[in-house]
Structure 1
């Protein structure tokens, strides 16, 4: 509800893209492999250190890459790319690579005297991407607002922020120096745009893997032969299972019943945890926001101020605050609640808003308050002065905590006693002596389910780490404990052919499919070329024929995918020409161009400069990538990169890139 007062997501995202470090350099860095091959150091808080190579580097100052920085960057990349958490170790290697190579580039830029002065920094902040926030309409926002901006946007200090901007500027200078001589000819620009600007329409015949799969129907003899040939593959196809005997119980089974909590227990806990019951100064407010977008001109600001002033006049004239908030407020998180923000702690909103909220008496309405978001009108509904909540008030919160602690301890003690008795007398007798009942499962897998247990995962995990007949052990089950013992183990083994036939058939089909797809695709292509008619060839082979729209290289076509991929061959064909076989993975395609529209001279002229810039960017990126690769090799051979712990090579991406 008060998010708009705490953080501006839009400008944070824009600035974050800049501050992470000049995008082209970072992208190039991630594509240069093989930097993790040097000696290691022993400091676990430092991921790596980088210094200049050679003899002089041994006495020069080194740059530490903190492990915390690597982990922080890896986590951000994981979130931005919406990847699962288990890929964090891989992302950490990539993040480490980025930061190490960035440090290498910084050393090289310093060696070339490309350092950025304070005056250079001032000019960049006043005219670069941050100017709209720090110098709106050309006017400096002031030191306090500057520091507030840096803290809110980056959770860092002004000094660290400026140091980061300087570093980015320096590395940009290095990139510009290395790639400044890149050029592309006019002819290359025209050829590139001729490809990029061409559009094609085509018929295409699609051989589907799913359709072919249905035609693969081997005999039992062929399947048995496949099964025998791949005996190693199926040697452990049936996973290990175990028969487990267990006794489960919860708090209701504890000797003497559920532990009771006395007032003395509550008082003792309260005395030891009073910091948890300290109430800070709080204020309950509602507000109306008339937004002024960042970078707005004076006219826009004046219009917003006038609108806010008119609303304030209505409120002071007896107008209903909540109704006016619903009709006028630009805060989407509170307007539908009549501007209600609820209870706010001191210091949780922007300074101007915070000061007014905690200064105004209860029941009063403020004058117009200007913040970085626009103009606010706020009304104080109630206040709480900092105080310690009395024990009588917090007792309902303390009792469940103590009950959980006491019950957990009692259950663990009971479980240990039960396990000890079971070791001497067996689970059946130990359970019966406590009024409980032992249960024996069927053979169950490691990821199986045990009926009657709220959470059997811990029991199964532990049961699959001990040997058959090991001493009884206890484990939490979510709503209590269980004591268990492994009665028998069936090792992983090969299945019987008859029982596993359906799986073997699917494996057989999967193995045969690529060859069959290739053969059918070549047959279709050959027949289309002989007949000089894709439509007739497709009809003969009973293959569906489809037609595309008029598409460019940035288009998508069903079954074929992005036209920048395998289907791009269509742009190199003349009208009426038939392509060769196009394998797109789970399907095969042969296409015939039915229409082709090349860019006109007017289109060429209109897009000439943009195409040139695109080619220049690609050339610069490639040159800088080679430069970083050579520079990295130089630092490696010079022993200038050292790691606290030698990481795994980052090239082994689970996505194959």
Structure 2
């Protein structure tokens, strides 16, 4: 049992877990909480939308679910990172993420309405046998509370209670999908035909026309390029980006008047007093225990039998029996029984209240009488305990010192930067720098993505320099390890390049424009000639196009220069042996193929793969039916006013499932 000693703590967070593999979960994304609730809010602070029961009384019962803005932002950020998209795409992902969470909330309301509840026993079985079993119960053995809690915190940034509550929620949604799609079926003929299509393999010759070869063959004259350059004047009007010349001087903490600020003991003590909550040690206890489990909802007879068994074990312990041996033989807690019932030091706030109270009442080495928790009857032996207390100042002084040093140095640097900027406005950069033993530097003309030597982080210096006017008063800006005082001394606006200087770029652009048309033309000519000759190799040889031969491949195969056989090249599976395809153009490469061999699966192959193919078809149909079910539910909730958006509503027809 996993939730041993743990409080039944409800949570509203949603986890992002790629290892949850059930069908419903494959259609619904999750997230790791972590961004502030106000992030990205454009309406009611912290809340993107609220979903309530669509019934008449749903307006009054208060049974509703808030979708937090932080959750929407986090899912969108996850998708941005996974798809490796530029930051600018976030605005397009946010509505989809919000709609996905709205639909998940709707499904949860429906599952609750249908009483598809998940018990603690259901959860225990899922964790021991489901998708998480290989992490929590490798080889059937529980990894122990410490590793379990670390696993949950590392991968999901949740407490154990929150994690288990969300796994329960996922199980509930799986049950809803099973209920909705339970009647799906496929015919035997459909299964056989599906595998026949999937199992067919082909071998083919293919002529490869490379766009790179086409590009290299394009050699325009200077007159052609000049005409192209003139015709594309608008395209090149700002081809050379704006550049600026910047004068600046910089400093860090070592240049502060009077040196780096020192931190006094009094300041450390004051900080310690103002941040007592950071140095609190929670009440915690280390125990051994033996659990005789009582299933949730068990009758009085079952409870009495468990109590009697626990009482008998307690007698053996009091008679001198070895606690660890008795735990290994009798405890129903799989996580601790193999360790002689031993549990790590655990904060009592994370334990069942009855267990925690009994454990803290014992002195180290003492054994309790029977203790009844929500999981059953325990015999507890306390090994060590700590009362709640604050760490003494002497213990945390070395942690506080660098914090205060950084704060004081940062404040001093900021103040000094403001002073220097004010001086530079009246005296100029050179005189101000010299007066403080600093040195000015003037850059060459540089762009927004340029490099400024001698500055730890020039990002802000460049950003502010490109938003300041030429000759504007000197200003200060952070450089990561200090500040810089700068002034823009000259500006070169974005402009069109000289033809001679930009000729190589113009040639690249000219070729890029010509390639698609020439590639298509060559492919069409090759395909036509091959069909006239009824021989791809002869036609390719006439046009000096290389021909390659594939292995025998199926639809899940990959072929060099062709790519996935499930893409445009899948036309090969529809062609008869000896047939020649139409042009296949993937943008960078074009091919013409001729089938040389074709093998369809035998009746035995179909029979061997019949069950797997049926399950694949059923899974596809179930997902489609559940997709329609979700859409219908969403329409119902929308029409009945059960969805209230406090953020901008996603565009109509958007779907979190990419449909």
Normalising to structure 1: TM-score of the pair?
Answer: 0.69
Extract unaligned runs of 5+ from structure 2: 1-15, 31-40, 287-343, 366-382
Q: Is this contact kept in 1: 2:580–2:595, CA < 8 A?
A: yes
Task: Give me the whole-angstrom Cα distance separating, in 2, the residues matched to 1:283 and 1:238.
Answer: 68
Change (3 A) 1:163 1:480: closer
1:184 is displaced (CA, Å) by 4.0
2:136 aligned with 1:132: no
Task: Report the counterpart of residue 103 of structure 2 in structure 1.
Answer: 101
Aligned to 1:444, the other structure's residue is in SS state coil
Name which of structure 1's ranges 427-436 and 483-492 shifts more when overlaid on structure 2: 427-436
Out of 162, 173, 194, the position equivalent to 1:156 is: 162
Task: Report the counterpart of residue 511 of structure 1 in structure 2.
Answer: 513
Extract unaligned runs of 5+ from structure 1: 1-11, 30-39, 285-342, 362-379
Task: Report the counterpart of residue 648 of structure 2 in structure 1.
Answer: 646
Task: Give me the whole-angstrom Cα distance separating, in 2, the residues matched to 1:641 and 1:502.
Answer: 57
User: How many residue pairs align between the two structures?
Assistant: 540
CA deviations on 1:511-534 (whole Å, 9 max, x unpaired) are 111111111111111121122111
Q: Is this contact kept in 1: 2:245–2:489, CA < 8 A?
A: yes
Q: Is this contact kept in 2: 1:106–1:171, CA < 8 A?
A: no
1:419 is displaced (CA, Å) by 0.8
Q: Is this contact kept in 2: 1:116–1:169, CA < 8 A?
A: no
Task: Report the counterpart of residue 532 of structure 1 in structure 2.
Answer: 534
1:540 is displaced (CA, Å) by 1.8
1:649 is displaced (CA, Å) by 3.8
Task: Give me the whole-angstrom Cα distance separating, in 2, the residues matched to 1:122 and 1:395.
Answer: 47
Out of 552, 555, 567, the position equivalent to 1:553 is: 555
Aligned to 2:500, the other structure's residue is in SS state helix
Q: Give 1:289-308 correspondences, 5 Å limit.
A: none
Q: Is this contact kept in 1: 2:247–2:440, CA < 8 A?
A: yes
Task: Give me the whole-angstrom Cα distance separating, in 2, the residues matched to 1:213 and 1:91.
Answer: 36
Task: Report the counterpart of residue 493 of structure 1 in structure 2.
Answer: 495
Task: Give me the whole-angstrom Cα distance separating, in 1, the residues matched to 2:77 and 2:225.
Answer: 49
Task: Report the counterpart of residue 303 of structure 2 in structure 1.
Answer: none
Name which of structure 1's ranges 225-234 and 167-176 shifts more when overlaid on structure 2: 167-176
2:115 aligned with 1:116: yes
Task: Report the counterpart of residue 75 of structure 2 in structure 1.
Answer: 74
1:59 is displaced (CA, Å) by 6.4
1:606 is displaced (CA, Å) by 2.3
CA deviations on 1:255-296 (whole Å, 9 max, x unpaired) are 233334445444544555566566789999xxxxxxxxxxxx
Change (3 A) 1:477 1:635: same
Normalising to structure 2: TM-score of the pair?
Answer: 0.69
Aligned to 2:162, the other structure's residue is in SS state coil
Task: Give me the whole-angstrom Cα distance separating, in 2, the residues matched to 1:638 and 1:386.
Answer: 51
Aligned to 1:578, the other structure's residue is in SS state coil
RMSD of Structure 2 on Structure 1 (CA): 4.8
1:117 is displaced (CA, Å) by 5.4
1:637 is displaced (CA, Å) by 5.0
Q: Is this contact kept in 2: 1:266–1:398, CA < 8 A?
A: yes
Change (3 A) 1:397 1:190: closer
1:435 is displaced (CA, Å) by 2.8
2:172 aligned with 1:166: yes
1:242 is displaced (CA, Å) by 1.3
CA deviations on 1:610-646 (whole Å, 9 max, x unpaired) are 3333334334433443454455445545554331111
CA deviations on 1:376-422 (whole Å, 9 max, x unpaired) are xxxx9x99999876666665554444433333222222211111111
Change (3 A) 1:100 1:281: closer
Name which of structure 1's ranges 629-638 and 241-250 shifts more when overlaid on structure 2: 629-638
Task: Give me the whole-angstrom Cα distance separating, in 2, the residues matched to 1:466 and 1:552.
Answer: 61
1:347 is displaced (CA, Å) by 7.8
1:444 is displaced (CA, Å) by 1.4
Change (3 A) 1:270 1:96: closer
Q: Is this contact kept in 2: 1:93–1:650, CA < 8 A?
A: no
